[in-house]
Structure 1
Amino acid sequence: MNIFTKVLIAFSFSISIFAAKDILVGAYHFPPFYMKKNGEKSGVLLEMIEELNKVQNKYHFKIIETSARRRYRDFTSSRCDLIFFESPKWGWSDHQISYVMTPPFSFGGEKFIALKKDRNQNYLKQLKKKMILLFDGYHYGFLDYEVDKSFNAKIVYTNSHEGNILSILKGRGDIAIVTESYLDIFFDKNSELKDKLIISEHYDQVYDHRVIMTKSSHISKDMMMSLLKQIKDRPCCRKLFKF
């Protein structure tokens, strides 16, 4: 390869990088999609971002950290362009936010758990006057998807699904509501604990996951869905995506 060819390749590569539009992806602690523990970041979203950047060079996706409560402000201030794994049920209309949302690409749900003892499914259907552990900033069906709504129970907000499960196991709460996908991960690593818990057959909520996007985003919802379809068979997405 002569020097002219090398220079041309290098120049073309630099132009490609320069032309790529940054797409800022808001990410908050939402196991198993995005997790941060002891400074270490993990989750499906990180793998998805890597794959999205591999399959094309028009856009460069990069993560901007936020929180479950702060994400509305960061979205409206254009600190991020889009957020994956969102649902229209989760407060966007309540905040009167203007947005674009893709069709569903994944589905999920949340279940009730309690220490088994001699209890049955009925225990998990009677929430009043119990201590219920919830993840701060999340929206729950039994609270009509309103954050901080009053309810005839002791509601304790935390920042750890794992912590909530362990608290239930230690008798430091009556019921916790945990995403089904996180329960699967937890029991994969702690299979001996599953028999100590009763897990509801019913859901607090079932939701579809979408990408919520600002109207000023450089990428359209159709293009976003096209890129998701290109990575749907990658290991990180194969079981998760439902097209």
Structure 2
Amino acid sequence: MSSPTRTAFRFLLAALPALWLLPSQAAQLVRVGAAHFPPYTVRPEMGADTGLLPQLVEALNVAQHDYQFVLVPTSIPRRFGDFKQGRVDMAIFENPDWGWKDIPHVTVDMGLEDAEIFVAQQLPDRQQDYFAELAGKRLALFSGYHYEFANFDADPKILAQRYNASLTYSHDSNLLMVLRGRADIALVTRSYLSDYLLRNAKVAAQLLVSQRVDQVYHHYAMLRPAAPISGEAFGKLLQGLRESGQMMKIFAPYQIAVVPVPGD
């Protein structure tokens, strides 16, 4: 083999590893907004990788190599602006009723259902009918959340004035307010309460959990129309995770129902 030929052959061998890496390098970056919404996302602005959203993103990245999903910290109030300005491509665990009406987006049904429920302190004479009427009761709510009983209006002034609500950024704080008699009723997601009672089993007997549901969270993903991934493609990725059992593995422990998606 002549010297120029040997040189070309060595160059080709050196280039092969780079060629093998091309598929991963060509993966399109998809930025997923991560707002504090426990147990789905927990303090992403502090660099925490706990919660269900990081698990879902990891499962999506393991399942395929065309897209690389990354988390971008945002907040409940700021997520709309980040979405409109293109700082994030996608908002996950959302609902079209939660302030998205006037924002261009593509909706993808995630096939996940959670619920918002009422929790009060357990007292000897207190039964389920305690939750039938909210008027005159002190409510502990999560700031920025859209509640059905309030017609999905998240304005803190309206919630405080019209519904006698105290707003915090912590479900734990709201439940403690109930346990200490500083609030009559807290609204929490069923998934969060399930996790809370696992961590605080001793207080389970002190809490009365409503059979009444404020709303069923049917979760959707909101994609920017110019996002690197289409709604159809993202729906297929989620369907793949359902079929492989990954969705059930991630969400079932938190009593989040994995339900069929129409059209699958």
Which residue number corresponds to residue 242 of structure 1?
A: 259
Distance 1:109 1:208 in 2: 8
Which of 88, 97, 112 is matched with 2:118 structurally? 112
Q: Secondary structure at the match of 1:92?
A: coil
Q: Secondary structure at the match of 1:35?
A: coil
1:136 has 2:143 as partner: yes
Alignment of 1:155-174 (within 5 A): 155-174=165-184
TM-score by length of 1: 0.91
Structure 2 counterpart of 1:187, one-letter code? L
1:74 aligns with 2:91: no
Identity %: 33
1:128/1:152 contact within 8 Å kept: no
For 2:4, the equivalent position in structure 1 comes to none
Q: Given that residues 139 and 147 in structure 1 are in contact (C-alpha distance below 8 angstroms), is that contact kept between their aligned partners in structure 2?
A: yes
Aligned-residue offset at 1:141: 0.7
Q: In the TM superposition, what is the alpha-carbon distance from 1:230 to its structure 2 partner?
A: 1.9
The alignment partner of 1:45 has SS state of helix
**Aligned residues, how many?**
240
Task: Provide the C-alpha distance between the structure 2 equivalents of 1:136 and 1:121, rounded to a whole number of angstroms.
Answer: 26
Determine the structure 2 residue equivalent to 1:216.
Answer: 226
Higher share in helix: 2
Superposition deviation, residue 98 in structure 1: 0.8
Do the aligned residues in 2 keep the contact of 1:103 with 1:210 (CA within 8 Å)?
yes
Structure 2 CA distance for partners of 1:176 and 1:231, relative to 1, 3 Å: same
SS at match of 1:236: helix
Measured after TM superposition, the shift of residue 200 of structure 1 is 0.8
Aligned-residue CA RMSD (Å): 2.1
Distance of 2:177 and 2:10 partners within structure 1: 65
Q: Report matched runs for 1:174-213 at 5 Å.
A: 174-213=184-223
List alignment gaps of at least 5 residues for structure 2.
Answer: 1-8
State how far apart, in whole Å, the 2-side matches of 1:39 and 1:102 are: 27
Q: Residue 13 of structure 1: CA displacement?
A: 3.9
The TM-score normalised by the length of structure 2 is 0.84
Q: Which amino acid aligns with 2:138?
A: M
Query: One-letter code of the match for 1:236?
Result: I
